[in-house]
Amino acid sequence: MKGDRPFADANQDPATLAKVEHFIALMRLALAPAFNAEPNNLPVSQSLAMTAAALFAGMTVGHMIAVGALNDRDKRRAGQMVLLNFRNGVEMGKSEAYAAMAAQMPPRGTA
């Protein structure tokens, strides 16, 4: 894996983005029961999910180092990619939410 690109920029190409979106869909399915369990506490649940995702990313890099797929020097690059993808994810999330809100609005001139 060291010779490959183990750290993906989700926006690097459509094929990579499609694979990443598949993982996002799986995460949403896994998290839905926790989010639905306390709908009035959704911001707290979402915050905990973000914390868990960050820890999961770090643990995954730790596992990859332990099995020799990465080395300790790769931690810096992993951190950079997490930050890049986080920033991209914020923009993607805003776009997704704005589109969902717009879809709920009645067409102009009909209200």
Residue 105 lies in a domain: no
Domain that holds residue 59: 14-92
The pLDDT value recorded for residue 66 is 96
The pLDDT value recorded for residue 3 is 47
The pLDDT value recorded for residue 111 is 61
Residue 65 lies in a domain: yes
Residue 20 lies in a domain: yes
pTM of the entire structure? 0.79
Q: Looking at the 3D structure of the chain, how many domains does it have? A: 1
Encode pLDDT of 50-80 as tens digits: 999 999 999 999 999 999 999 999 999 999 9
Residue 108 lies in a domain: no
Are the C-beta atoms of residues 104 and 31 closer than 8 Å to each other? no
Q: What mean pLDDT is reported for the chain?
A: 90
Residue 87 lies in a domain: yes
